[in-house]
Amino acid sequence: MENHPFQTEVRQLLDIVIHAFYSDREVFVRELVSNASDALEKLRLKQLTTSSVYQPERELRISIETDEEGKTLAIADAGIGMTREEVVEYLGTIAHSGTKKFLEAAKESGDAKDLIGQFGVGFYSVFMAADKVEVTTRSWQPEAAPVRWVSDGQEGYELEAAPDDTPRGTRILIRLKEDAADFAKPERLRYVLGKYSNFVGFPIDFNGEHLNTVQAIWMKNKKEVTEEEYTGFYQFIAHTDSKPLTHMHFSAEAPIVLNSVLFVPEQNPEMMGFGRTEPEVSLYCHKVLIDSKPEKLLPEWLRFLSGVVDSEDLPLNISREMLQDHSLLHKISGIITKRFLKHLADLAKSEADTYEKFWRQFGRFIKEGVVTCWEHKEALGKLLRFESTFTEAGKLTSFEDYVSRMKENQKDIYVLYGASRAQLEDSPYLDALKARGFEVCFFTEGGDPFVIDSLMKFGEKDIKSIDRANLDLPPLDNEAPDAPSLEEASAKSLTDWVGGLFKERFSKVSISDRVSSAPAMALQGEHDLSPEVKAYLRAMGQEVPETHPEIAFNPRHPIVLKLAELQQSDAETAQLLATQLIDTALLRAGLLDNPADLAENSQRLLEKLLTK
Ligand code: ADP
Ligand code: MG
């Protein structure tokens, strides 16, 4: 017999798990049944792809036994088993990727206990209910010796040779804690198992009696599957107690035989501090699991999905590496992605509330899709949601709705980027659009300029950012208010003079009706990178090309009228004032590289004005 300590992380996890909430406890049964099922799936694939499997005649079943008096529970499978090395690796360290993330989140928040029921934590959850656990296992490999692993879930485990007649597979014997003894009651366990036993792909014997109907729900006609069945299946495969937000069941005969059920979880784990989500969509070939985490089955931005994709056209005996480059996989990916996008579009129409929930949780993935997945850009663009000058705060709209509201003389779709709705509502860029009754979409997330730059168009309409110089707006039908305006001559003199002062910095200095609320504003060239994109490139250590925005003065603003006067009478003060107006405009546009310049200039301007 040998003593082995647990890896530090395992001990930390056990500490959380052992003190978990009572109501979460039953998840350990699901985790062990799920492991038994995984082990059987792996064995089945081995049998189809290799010739020598130990005890080939042994039936692929799970057997569960309770002993109420002895307060024990045993779960056995005839699956792939483990070698001694595998036992040490899998049952002494942390294998389950979800568990690693759970632990990280637990370390951060300190109150991750209530998340155990939401995200499975794998094998170690058994210690929520167990005083002592004995794992006896024999690998499928004919020459491997059987081993026994014994632990009380404290410091470590003992390892010893198991009897020679140990059959292939794994048997887990659980001695229940006093206050968890009810799991040895047949009724209690039957109830727990009832929640998902029908979604296990292998027969389960419970105290010698056959318990479940093995069914692959993704192979069934969707009319024959109830909501409860979808939920139960989801909870089993996603190791969770929560309901899916939505699911898609999809079958096709041509060009590829495909059967698939996909689920969107209720919450986005990436927003809950669980790190980057890993795809949980398994790949089957006619009900045989080929790969539980195939890479490239679905595009990256669909990594929040869980479920099953089954295709009879896949070759069974394909290696993982070969699978990744298999052309069939690309085709499957394309078909499923397209169907899922249609599912979301339909959802948005038929269940607007559910779609809005989806958007608030998973909208960032849709945006990621727009940037990375050009084949599906158009369908993704329809799924975007945002606020606008026409929506109330907190209410969302879409490009489709926007287009339906466009004015007759409006050519393009208008957008504006910023940190918040409140900030955008104050923007001088809105002046010209408001004056024409045109709607402007608000985009307030960091990556939004990339998303809209990638999208470029919606249907036939170009999407234009309203901080650009070339907006091509129709003339205003009602003449501007008759507030005093700069004379043509002084306007020219002013723009020539300011243009001369800042030759190097600006492509143009003009007088423009586009600005009515502020004295001046900065407009960018059509192809200039937006401030957000520039900041990103700089952070990535890349050269950022210098841009030369245009400065537009408001010919009716009292400060501008005063500036024109000062230009004639007091050039020194005029220059300070012009600099002040320009730097303020640049600041508001996110284009002022060095805000200290603005502070310094305003100090000098004040000194000049107040100490005259
Ligand atoms: P996961 O199932 O997500 O990998 P677990 O913590 O549930 O994480 O299990 C850890 C590992 O232990 C599994 O990946 C598997 O290799 C091994 N294992 C657990 N139970 C069994 C079993 N019944 N048969 C064979 N291997 C098992
Ligand atoms: Mg598991």
Q: What is the DSSP string of 574-597?
A: HHHHHHHHHHHHHHHTT--S-HHH
Q: ω before 255 within 30° of 0 (cis)? A: yes
Q: At what angle do helices 8-18 and 97-109 cross, to 10 degrees?
A: 70
Instruction: Report how far residue 79's alpha carbon sits from residue 24's, in angstroms, rounded to the nearest whole number.
Output: 27
Going by pLDDT thresholds of 50, 70 and 90, the confidence category of residue 156 is: very high
Count of CB atoms situated within 10 Å of the CB of 155: 12
Ligand 2 centroid to residue 237 C-alpha, Å:
10
Can you tell me which atom of ligand 1 is nearest the CA of 81? 25
Residues with CB under 5 A from ligand 2 (ion): 35, 122
pLDDT of residue 110: 63
Ligand 2 centroid to residue 231 C-alpha, Å:
19
Instruction: Report how far residue 464's alpha carbon sits from residue 456's, in angstroms, rounded to the nearest whole number.
Output: 8
Q: Which residues have C-beta atoms less than 6 Å from ligand 1?
A: 31, 35-36, 38-39, 77, 79-82, 90, 95-96, 99, 122-123, 170
| Residue having the nearest C-alpha atom to atom 19 of ligand 1 | 35
Going by pLDDT thresholds of 50, 70 and 90, the confidence category of residue 529 is: confident
Per residue in 166-187, pLDDT tens?
999 999 999 999 999 999 999 9
pLDDT of residue 611: 86
- pLDDT of residue 141 exceeding 70, the answer is yes
Per residue in 10-58, pLDDT tens?
998 898 888 876 667 888 999 999 999 999 999 999 998 888 999 999 9
Going by pLDDT thresholds of 50, 70 and 90, the confidence category of residue 282 is: very high
Structural domains of the chain sorted by starting position, each given as residue range(s) with its CATH number in brackets: 2-210 (3.30.565.10), 217-352 (3.30.230.80), 386-479 (3.40.50.11260), 488-610 (1.20.120.790)
Instruction: Report how far residue 460's alpha carbon sits from residue 189's, in angstroms, rounded to the nearest whole number.
Output: 60
| Residue having the nearest C-alpha atom to atom 1 of ligand 1 | 96
Query: Which letter does DSSP use for residue 553 in this model?
Result: E
Which string of b and e fits 348-362 if b means at least 16 CB within 10 Å? beeeeeebebbbebb
pLDDT of residue 95: 75
pLDDT of residue 476: 84
Mean pLDDT, rounded, for 568-584: 95
Average pLDDT taken over every residue of the chain: 92
Greatest distance between any 2 Cα atoms in the chain: 107
Residue 219 near residue 310, CB atoms below 8 Å: yes
Q: Which of 24-38, 274-288, 459-473, 570-584 has the lowest mean pLDDT?
A: 274-288
Residues near 550 by beta carbon (within 8 Å), at least 6 away in sequence? 469, 506, 507, 508, 509, 510, 522, 523, 524, 525
- State the residue for tokens 């249609």: 342
Q: How far is CA 392 from the centre of its chain?
A: 26
Can you tell me which atom of ligand 1 is nearest the CA of 86? 16
Instruction: Report how far residue 542's alpha carbon sits from residue 526's, in angstroms, rounded to the nearest whole number.
Output: 21
Instruction: Report how far residue 411's alpha carbon sits from residue 524's, in angstroms, rounded to the nearest whole number.
Output: 20
Going by pLDDT thresholds of 50, 70 and 90, the confidence category of residue 112 is: low
Q: Which ligand is nearest to the CA of 93?
A: 1
Going by pLDDT thresholds of 50, 70 and 90, the confidence category of residue 114 is: low
Mean pLDDT, rounded, for 225-235: 95
Closest to 76 in 3D by CA, of 101, 91, 56, 59: 59
Q: Which ligand is nearest to the CA of 92?
A: 1
For residue 520, give the H/E element and its range.
Answer: strand 520-523
∠29-32-36 over CA atoms, to 5°? 135
Mutate to test the pocket of ligand 1, among 10, 123, 237 (most ligand atoms within 8 A of CB): 123
Q: Which of 19-33, 141-155, 259-273, 553-567 has the lowest mean pLDDT?
A: 19-33
| Residue having the nearest C-alpha atom to atom 16 of ligand 1 | 90
Looking at the whole model, is its pTM more than 0.85?
yes
- pLDDT of residue 478 exceeding 70, the answer is no
| Residue having the nearest C-alpha atom to atom 5 of ligand 1 | 122
**What tokens were used for 119?**
């995200």
Instruction: Report how far residue 607's alpha carbon sits from residue 604's, in angstroms, rounded to the nearest whole number.
Output: 5
- pLDDT of residue 78 exceeding 70, the answer is yes
Mutate to test the pocket of ligand 1, among 35, 91, 293 (most ligand atoms within 8 A of CB): 35
pLDDT of residue 105: 76
pLDDT of residue 113: 64
Instruction: Report how far residue 556's alpha carbon sits from residue 269's, in angstroms, rounded to the nearest whole number.
Output: 52
Per residue in 428-472, pLDDT tens?
999 999 999 999 999 999 899 999 999 999 999 999 999 999 899
pLDDT of residue 182: 96
| Residue having the nearest C-alpha atom to atom 13 of ligand 1 | 90
| Residue having the nearest C-alpha atom to atom 18 of ligand 1 | 35
- State the residue for tokens 């003009």: 510
Ligand 2 centroid to residue 123 C-alpha, Å:
6
Per residue in 290-302, pLDDT tens?
888 888 899 999 9
Per residue in 490-500, pLDDT tens?
999 999 999 99
Can you tell me which atom of ligand 1 is nearest the CA of 36? 23
| Residue having the nearest C-alpha atom to atom 20 of ligand 1 | 35
Can you tell me which atom of ligand 1 is nearest the CA of 97? 3
Ligand 2 centroid to residue 75 C-alpha, Å:
14
pLDDT of residue 22: 66
